Amino acid sequence: MSLVSGPGRGGASAGGHVPDELKLVVEKHVEYIQSLDTRQDELEYWLTEHLRLNGVYWGLTALHLLGHPDALSRLATIDFILSCQHENGGFGAAPGHDAHMLYTVSAVQILGTVDALEELDRRGKAGTEKVGKYIADLQNQETGSFAGDQWGETDTRFLYGALNALSLLHMLRLVNVSKAVTHIQACANFDGGYGVSPGAESHAGQIFTCVAALAIAGRLDLVDKDRLGGWLSERQVPNGGLNGRPEKVEDVCYSWWVGSSLAMIDRLHWINGDKLAQFILRCQDPDKGGIADRPGDMVDVFHTHFGIAGLSLIGFPGLIAVDPIYCMPREVTKRLLGKLNT
Amino acid sequence: MASHGVPRVQPATDRDQKKEQQKIKDYKGLVDSVNDGIRGCQCTTKTLELTSKLLKWNPEYYTIWNHRRLILKHQFEHPDSQVTNAVAGPDHETVMNTISDELAFLIPLLRKFPKCYWIWNYRLWLLKDSTRLLSVLEARKFWQQELALVGKMLSLDSRNFHGWGYRRTVVSALEGIALQAEGSVTSMTEIEFEYTTKMINLNLSNFSAWHNRSKLIPILLDERGADHLARRNFLDEELELIERALWAGSEDQSLWFYHQYLMCTFDPKYAAESMAPDLTTTERSTYVREQILKVRDMLDGAEDCKWIYQSLISLSILYRDLGNESIEKEVAIEDHIAELINLDPLRAGRSSNLLLDPSLLIMTTCKSVAVAGMPTYLPIRNFLLQIPLLKTSSPILTRLLIDKSGLFPTFIVVKRNPFEAKEAARMEFLLELQPDGDGADVNTEDIDYFSTQALVEVRGVFRNFRFCDRFINYVYDDGFIHVIQMLGRYTDLTDGSIEILGGQGHTTQKAWGQWRTGPPMISLSSPSTWALDLDGVQPRLHGVEFQRMKIELGSREIEQER
């Protein structure tokens, strides 16, 4: 899956005029995502190789939410994912790239989505137990936080990723969940939000990771819901889009980070869903498919995915329901988690 | 990362195409040579230079940063390798020079790609290595330089997320035990606090700086050993600072969030961790009262500033919760909320939640729909209702009393209507349940409102409800059925238990009839949008037996399941 941006541009054909009734161009988006891996004649295809596995997760999940789960070859997807695995259980962004938490989580999510987790034991370079162990070993026993890889960068993104993947694998027992929860609490701020690490400023993306991690740990009771909901609702700007921090510019991807966080704390109605949907739809390229960060910018699969996930979250007609905790189709997480975790 | 803010590019010509193919070839060739070097364990100067070239081209290629670390590690551990000219043994000067060169190599990259995580990570790794491998004085020098560097970066982009985070990391390293000369411990809290003041004075809208300030103050006061009086004085200074700032920029949300932070000092829920945890309730009340008056003064000339109303609402609620009577009886919290909804329609769902008991379901907006076949009297029980009525001369919020056994509800007037639309021909009433009411306190004045009930539309609150699916969900309560489109999280009925997670959606059916005998009948009318807040509802639902309804949209047929 290529991370090449373009060729289209959000709102390209609107010619400055935005029609009142914007449609989600489902077929175009499907074609756009399908075409991504055919763009090897572009330099950017190669420059974005370090995001390839994430790209597959974004493209595949978007296709599932669009109701086209078979638009990518299941077998080719599994083959590619397995080709990124290392013997220690971790996954890199592409074959030959170092193992890292971010790609390991995406790999588990993708295999889960295409119902192929058992392929890890069947033909992975390492089986499920080793994948779980790779993730679990990145936990800092003292603080409960997680590193991204052996070089030690620590970020609440990795903590969330670990709980996400381990819960999907039913292997949360491998880590100290309560210490992880304590670490998240240490990242909380007076505004109800959470940062990258203790002391860091609240940021909608980190809020998503912290709130979702608490949701997986079953500790949403620790969230100051009204205060956080208030801060998050102020992310919506007059054009309907959402930003990630006060006084920053809006961006389609925050439709997800902000929206899912609000959904998890039962306050999605604190923003205007209709206006958000209109904003996301204005970021589409109605001719070539794909969604950009803002109207007029180049589309890419990252924003395409988070735009569609945002629309699904607010119940946009025709889309498959997304799970706000996992950012995967709800029916997939239901199947994977079974009754125990729901 | 993906293409944030990338404008459209011109379509490529044939010539561009050729150039592009050549670039791809060059790039892939470079990647191959670096990888070959690493695979062959050639931790040499040549490989290092190749990684430099590649990382300048593509700093997001995280694996290459790792390669670079491996080369340096090898160099530090084997100083006689061809990378260095050292003869033998760990050589501080070599390590110093290498780290120094590396840090310098990163500067132009950081300038060009200030948001690239991997560069910052690599830089920190180098610095941590300096702490590990060098003497305290030598390492400290590197970390000190970082503080200057990050100050420079923040002066160019004062909200850079990485910059602020990096600054905190550098400060905490400099304060850390590993970088202390014997016996001395240097706290930088005072300096960092001054730095936030400086940044705020440069630009009031700097939420990053206000945030950092909020984190530093408790530490600062502890380090100063501040007593109650000193803490109060400090608080007064902060209040003065934020008040001055708010007068200059009442639309600036950074300032209001900091104001909210200061108000935590007076809120028993947050006070323990605030800068003055030992204020008495009387002191807190005095402060809050003062704040209400000051914030209200800001309305003069800024009547359309939603932040002022928002602040007044939370201050008034806090003031009330501290055990005080409202400062002004004629201005109810509800009036501020009504104004807030008016000024800030995007967040009407949130503002409406301020109005009502959050344990109930609440609809937030309403389209008045005249419904044929409405029963004369509504058997309303245990609801909060917001209903549109024809406008009368009496703008009143109405409390609804229920005759529990009967079908003839009566209303009494309790409050002004917060939802009064200024120009509308009709107005909406908020009817509130009085759960223990027995209908005895009937205010005959309000009977008049009944005469308009052909327009009554139930918009509000339901106690008995269940959700069956994502899109078609039902609320069944004492003869009322609402078909709801859930937009948020929903229930899972697989094991018969009910889990309601809240969300928003709209009601697509809302008229009813024949409620006295048999199951309710549904008739369709135009949808209205609503939102709900289910906090606290969930516990009440467990153990309640629900009647399962199946309603075919469009066909008006109702099936009943048990």
Mind giving me the DSSP string for B306-373?
HHHHHHHHHHHHHHHHTT---S-TTS-HHHHHHHHHHH-GGGHHHHHHHHS-TTS-----------TT
Q: Which two tokens stand for residue B293?
A: 């008056």
With an 8 Å Cβ cutoff, is B117 touching chain A? yes
Rounded Cα gap, residues B261 and B254, in angstroms: 11
With an 8 Å Cβ cutoff, is B115 touching chain A? no
With an 8 Å Cβ cutoff, is A100 touching chain B? yes
Among A102-116, A131-145, A308-322, B540-554, whose mean pLDDT is lowest?
A: B540-554
Q: Cβ of A269 and B159 within 8 Å?
A: no
E strands present in B71-214: none
Q: Residues B184-190: what's their mean pLDDT?
A: 85
Q: Percent of chain B scored above 70 by pLDDT?
A: 56
Question: Has residue B407 got a pLDDT over 60?
Answer: no
Rounded Cα gap, residues B497 and B492, in angstroms: 7
Q: Write down the pLDDT at residue B92.
A: 79
Q: Which two tokens stand for residue A148?
A: 């991204």
Q: Write down the pLDDT at residue B461.
A: 31
Question: Has residue B403 got a pLDDT over 70?
Answer: no
With an 8 Å Cβ cutoff, is A246 touching chain B? yes
Question: Has residue B466 got a pLDDT over 50?
Answer: no
How does pLDDT run across B123-135, given as a tens digit for each residue?
999 999 999 999 8
Q: Cβ of B502 and A267 within 8 Å?
A: yes
Residues in B touching A48 (Cβ below 8 Å): 60
Among A131-135, A244-248, B66-70, B350-354, whose mean pLDDT is lowest?
A: B350-354
Question: Has residue A32 got a pLDDT over 90?
Answer: yes
Q: Residues A27-42: what's their mean pLDDT?
A: 93
Q: Cβ of B8 and A247 within 8 Å?
A: no
Residues in B touching A47 (Cβ below 8 Å): 27, 57-58, 60
Candidates A222, A270, A341, partner chain B, best to mutate (most B CBs within 10 A): A270
Q: Residues B131-147: what's their mean pLDDT?
A: 92
Residue B236: pLDDT band by 50, 70, 90 thresholds?
very high
Q: Which residue has the higher pLDDT, A305 or B481?
A: A305
H or E element: which one contains A340? helix A330-341
**H helices then E strands: how many in chain A?**
15, 4
What sign results for the dihedral spanned by CA atoms B295, B296, B302, B308? Answer: positive
Among A108-112, A314-318, B384-388, whose mean pLDDT is lowest?
A: B384-388
Q: Write down the pLDDT at residue A62.
A: 98
Helix axes B207-224, B228-248, angle to 10 degrees: 170
Q: Cβ of A300 and B3 within 8 Å?
A: yes
Question: Has residue B191 got a pLDDT over 60?
Answer: yes
Contacts of A177 (CB under 8 A, 6+ apart): A163, A217
Candidates A201, A227, A330, A333, partner chain B, best to mutate (most B CBs within 10 A): A201
Residue type, B539: P
Q: Write down the pLDDT at residue A3.
A: 60
CB contacts under 8 A, B 163-202 vs A, are 164-165, 168
Chain-centroid distance of CA B186 in Å reads: 35
Q: How many CB atoms lie within 10 A of CB B273?
A: 10
Q: Which two tokens stand for residue B258?
A: 């900091």
Question: Has residue B165 got a pLDDT over 70?
Answer: yes
How does pLDDT run across B93-108, given as a tens digit for each residue?
888 999 999 999 999 9
Among A28-32, A110-114, A289-293, B316-320, whose mean pLDDT is lowest?
A: B316-320
Closest chain A CA to residue B215:
A199
Question: Has residue B365 got a pLDDT over 80?
Answer: no
Mean pLDDT estimate for chain B: 66
Q: Write down the pLDDT at residue B329.
A: 58
Cβ B349 vs Cβ A270: under 8 Å: yes
Out of B20, B117, B505, name the one closest to residue A315 (CB).
B505
Residue A184: pLDDT band by 50, 70, 90 thresholds?
very high
Q: Write down the pLDDT at residue B38.
A: 84
Q: Which residue has the higher pLDDT, B177 or A136?
A: A136
Rounded Cα gap, residues A235 and A247, in angstroms: 9
Question: Has residue A229 got a pLDDT over 50?
Answer: yes
Closest chain B CA to residue A306:
B2
Q: Which residue has the higher pLDDT, B497 or A202?
A: A202
How does pLDDT run across B196-220, given as a tens digit for each residue?
999 999 999 999 999 999 999 999 9
Query: CA B425, B429, B434: angle at the middle one, nearest 5?
Result: 165
Q: Write down the pLDDT at residue B162.
A: 83
The DSSP secondary structure of A221-270, one letter per residue, reads GGS-HHHHHHHHHTTB-TTS-B-SSTT----THHHHHHHHHHHHTT-GGG
Q: Cβ of B63 and A342 within 8 Å?
A: no
Q: Cβ of B347 and A98 within 8 Å?
A: no
Residue B139: pLDDT band by 50, 70, 90 thresholds?
very high
Chain-centroid distance of CA B67 in Å reads: 39
Residue A180: pLDDT band by 50, 70, 90 thresholds?
very high
Mean pLDDT estimate for chain A: 92
Question: Has residue A15 got a pLDDT over 90?
Answer: no
> What phi and psi values does residue A122 have, to the nearest 5 degrees?
-75, -50
Residue B10: pLDDT band by 50, 70, 90 thresholds?
low
Question: Has residue B75 got a pLDDT over 50?
Answer: yes
Closest chain B CA to residue A5:
B3
Q: Write down the pLDDT at residue B332.
A: 67
Q: How far is B356 from chain A (nearest CA, A)?
A: 14
Q: Cβ of B69 and A203 within 8 Å?
A: no
Question: Has residue B496 got a pLDDT over 80?
Answer: no
Q: Cβ of A268 and B502 within 8 Å?
A: yes
Query: CA B503, A206, A84: angle at the middle one, nearest 5?
Result: 105
Q: Cβ of A43 and B23 within 8 Å?
A: yes
Q: Write down the pLDDT at residue B74.
A: 87
Q: Write down the pLDDT at residue B11.
A: 55
> What phi and psi values does residue B380 have, to the nearest 5 degrees?
-85, 130
Q: Residues B338-362: what's their mean pLDDT?
A: 65
Q: Which residue has the higher pLDDT, B431 or A134?
A: A134
Q: Write down the pLDDT at residue B7.
A: 52
Residue B156: pLDDT band by 50, 70, 90 thresholds?
confident
Q: Cβ of B23 and A12 within 8 Å?
A: no
With an 8 Å Cβ cutoff, is B264 touching chain A? yes
Closest CA to B361 of B473, B240, B206, B264: B473
Residue B500: pLDDT band by 50, 70, 90 thresholds?
very low
How does pLDDT run across A281-301, given as a tens digit for each residue?
999 999 999 999 999 999 999
How does pLDDT run across A45-55, given as a tens digit for each residue?
999 999 999 99
How does pLDDT run across A252-266, given as a tens digit for each residue?
999 999 999 999 998
Q: Write down the pLDDT at residue B339.
A: 81
Contacts of B156 (CB under 8 A, 6+ apart): none
Q: How far is A304 from chain B (nearest CA, A)?
A: 10
Closest CA to A317 of A273, A283, A287, A284: A273
Question: Has residue B228 got a pLDDT over 90?
Answer: yes
Q: How many CB atoms lie within 10 A of CB B422?
A: 6
